[in-house]
């Protein structure tokens, strides 16, 4: 199985202030802000064509929320993680019921997202 780091998600108190910071100091380019299924606004900021930062607005949390990886086959990845005893937090499926994303917890308490290629 191949895994590729796709993004690092960070909770921030003010999405707009954080976007401005990464634009001003790092020359970042932000995607349009949208609202996630969990109800918080977020966007991605790309800096020099590298793995983007996902900024997620949160009134009570700051810091790294999760690391996102892309797997060749998310269904097989989920099966292997479960077989090895990973702590699975949740699974997301598309409208046809196909598994698209699985979240697990690392030993430090951070979430890891494994998703299918887009």
Q: Per residue in 34-68, pLDDT tens? A: 998 778 999 999 999 889 999 999 989 999 999 99
Beta carbons within 8 Å of 78's beta carbon, 6+ residues apart: 88, 91, 99, 102, 114
Tokens of 40: 């918080």
Q: How many CA atoms lie within 13 A of 55 on its CB side?
A: 25
d(CA 116, CA 35): 21
> In the prediction, which pLDDT does 67 show?
93
Q: Is the pLDDT of residue 96 over 80?
A: yes
Arithmetic mean of pLDDT, 74-94 = 93
Tokens of 55: 């900024």
Q: Yes or no: say if 70 and 6 are a contact pair by the CB < 8 Å rule.
A: yes
Beta strands 41-46 and 53-57, pairing class: antiparallel
């Amino acid at each position: 199985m191949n895994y590729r780091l796709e993004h690092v998600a960070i909770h921030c108190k003010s999405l707009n202030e954080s976007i401005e910071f990464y634009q001003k100091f790092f020359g970042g380019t932000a995607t349009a802000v949208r609202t996630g299924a969990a109800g918080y606004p977020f966007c991605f900021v790309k800096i020099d064509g590298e793995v983007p930062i996902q900024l997620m607005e949160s009134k009570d949390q700051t810091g790294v929320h999760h690391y996102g990886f892309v797997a060749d086959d998310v269904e097989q990845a989920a099966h292997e993680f479960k077989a090895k005893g990973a702590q699975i937090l949740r699974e997301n499926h598309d409208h046809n019921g196909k598994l698209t994303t699985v979240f697990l917890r690392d030993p430090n308490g951070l979430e890891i997202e494994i998703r299918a290629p887009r």
